[in-house]
Amino acid sequence: ADAATMNKIAIIGSGLIGKSWAMLFACSGYDVMLYDVISDQLQSALVDIEAQLSALYKEGLQRSSLTLAEVKGHICTTTILEECVTGAIYIQECVPENRDLKRDVWRQIDDVITPDDVVFATSTSAIVPSLLSDHLKKRHRFMVAHPANPPLLNPMVELVPTPWTEPAAVDRARALMEVIGQVPIVLNKEIDGFVQARIQAAIIHVAWQLVSEDYVDVESLETAMSEGLGGWYAFMGPFDVEHINADGFVDSSKKYGAMVEQVQKTFPKPELMQGPAAEKLTRDLEQWTPSNRLADRCRWRDRRMSALLQLKRKLDEE
Ligand code: NAI
């Protein structure tokens, strides 16, 4: 392959996540080809990418030494799958979260001739990768590369291999993620929810009990996270927190382990979060984020997340 094609990234699906991947790769100088079945969607994706990039550049939050025009110049679009995939070194699929649809799209990609070391990555939030790739000829290149939303402000990417994924493919994906400034974590084997969504599910599980059974109001529950736990977890994980809270993790477990287990034993059975308790929760949440102001609240969150990211990068340099 010539130098130009060695730099090519294929993005399948130009929605929220496809656009984010396109920007991440283009900001690092990769040539991104964005594919969608709907050509109008591709046009509006380009408009939105420009708007998102402009906002980042205006606030000095761009993750690139390239100019905005240069970044844009690295993104092109197509409605022909074969054109998108041919010659790409890495393929990131971002079509809607539907197992049959994803399987079908990957079968089509699998039929295109691609280099032996190309990485096949899906953005799926929750489908274990073996269920999306058992039918593929090149399934040994397949894995999940799951970003955290919004990927431009949330560097972590979960790489989840199948039982048949070659370690070399994972290594390649990991290296590429590092080049574009994301922070990959690699699972040793697949599990429902991967890492991030499992932890999130555990948190919301106990939070739901606390609020729906009226132990605490929603505002206080949210405050416990934002003014309490969140302070640690923006910088370190749950085990490190315990490790330095005592004389090492074993000591911490000796001191507090039984208490933790006792609390865990009172966790309720999982249940769907719906019905009157969910409606009350919505009404309470609307007091500070009305339903017609959700986009504003997203911008509020994004401004804070980017400021925190910048602070963390600065602290890391010290
Ligand atoms: P989206 O609905 O915004 O975008 C999906 C795009 O795929 C649309 O542009 C649609 O036209 C296109 N599409 C539909 N069928 C297609 C096909 N056969 N070939 C090519 N393109 C097709 O969805 P979103 O939010 O971008 O999600 C994409 C994937 O990323 C899902 O698997 C989702 O679970 C995952 N994800 C989503 C996150 C989120 O917060 N929204 C976070 C991380 C992962």
pLDDT in tens, 22-50: 999 999 999 999 999 999 999 999 999 99
Domain count, the chain: 2
pLDDT of residue 316: 92
**Quick check: is 169 in a domain?**
yes
Ligand 1: which of 14, 16, 84, 302 to mutate, judged by most atoms within 8 Å of the beta carbon? 16
- Together in a domain, 244 and 138: no
* H or E, element range at 175: helix 167-179
Q: Ligand 1 pocket, 41 CB below 6 A?
A: yes
* In the predicted structure, residue 235 carries a pLDDT above the cut 60: yes
- What's the CA-to-centroid distance between 41 and ligand 1, angstroms? 12
Vertex 185, ends 222 and 136: CA angle to 5°?
115
- Together in a domain, 142 and 10: yes
- Together in a domain, 273 and 229: yes
* Of residues 28, 14, 8, the one with CA closest to residue 71: 28
Q: How far is Cα 52 from Cα 19, in angstroms, rounded to an integer?
A: 10
Mean pLDDT of the chain: 95
pLDDT of residue 4: 46
- Together in a domain, 77 and 219: no
- What's the CA-to-centroid distance between 18 and ligand 1, angstroms? 7
21: which 2 tokens? 């991947």
- Together in a domain, 169 and 105: yes
In this structure, of 1-15, 91-105, 198-212, 252-266, the range with the lowest mean pLDDT score is 1-15
pLDDT of residue 297: 94
* In the predicted structure, residue 241 carries a pLDDT above the cut 60: yes
Burial of 14 (0-12, 13-18, 19+ CB in 10 A): buried
- The residue segments making up the domain with residue 105 are 5-186
- Together in a domain, 160 and 248: no
**Quick check: is 306 in a domain?**
no
Q: Ligand 1 pocket, 44 CB below 6 A?
A: no
- Together in a domain, 162 and 46: yes
Beta bridge partners of 92: 11, 121
pLDDT of residue 2: 45
- What's the CA-to-centroid distance between 22 and ligand 1, angstroms? 13
**Quick check: is 292 in a domain?**
no
* In the predicted structure, residue 3 carries a pLDDT above the cut 50: no
- Together in a domain, 233 and 168: no
E strands within the chain?
A: 8-12, 31-35, 75-78, 90-93, 119-122, 142-147, 156-161, 183-186
- Together in a domain, 203 and 263: yes
- What's the CA-to-centroid distance between 146 and ligand 1, angstroms? 12
> Dihedral through CA 64, CA 66, CA 70, CA 76, nearest 10?
-30
pLDDT band at 55 (very low <50, low <70, confident <90, very high): confident
Q: Ligand 1 pocket, 193 CB below 6 A?
A: no
First-last CA distance in the chain = 41
Domain's final residue, options 186, 217, 237: 186
CATH value at residue 182: 3.40.50.720
pLDDT of residue 242: 95
- Together in a domain, 65 and 173: yes
- Together in a domain, 49 and 174: yes
**Quick check: is 66 in a domain?**
yes
pLDDT of residue 192: 96
pLDDT of residue 1: 41
CATH value at residue 277: 1.10.1040.10
pLDDT band at 186 (very low <50, low <70, confident <90, very high): very high
- Together in a domain, 20 and 115: yes
**How confident is the model over 128-136, as a mean pLDDT?**
98
265: which 2 tokens? 């034993």
pLDDT band at 294 (very low <50, low <70, confident <90, very high): very high
* In the predicted structure, residue 60 carries a pLDDT above the cut 80: no
pLDDT of residue 215: 97
Domain's final residue, options 186, 214, 239: 186
Q: 69-105 pLDDT, tens per residue?
A: 999 999 999 999 999 999 999 999 999 999 999 999 9
Q: Which residue has its alpha carbon closest to ligand 1 atom 9?
A: 15
pLDDT of residue 177: 97
ipTM: 0.99
**Quick check: is 300 in a domain?**
no
**How confident is the model over 176-180, as a mean pLDDT?**
96
pLDDT of residue 56: 85
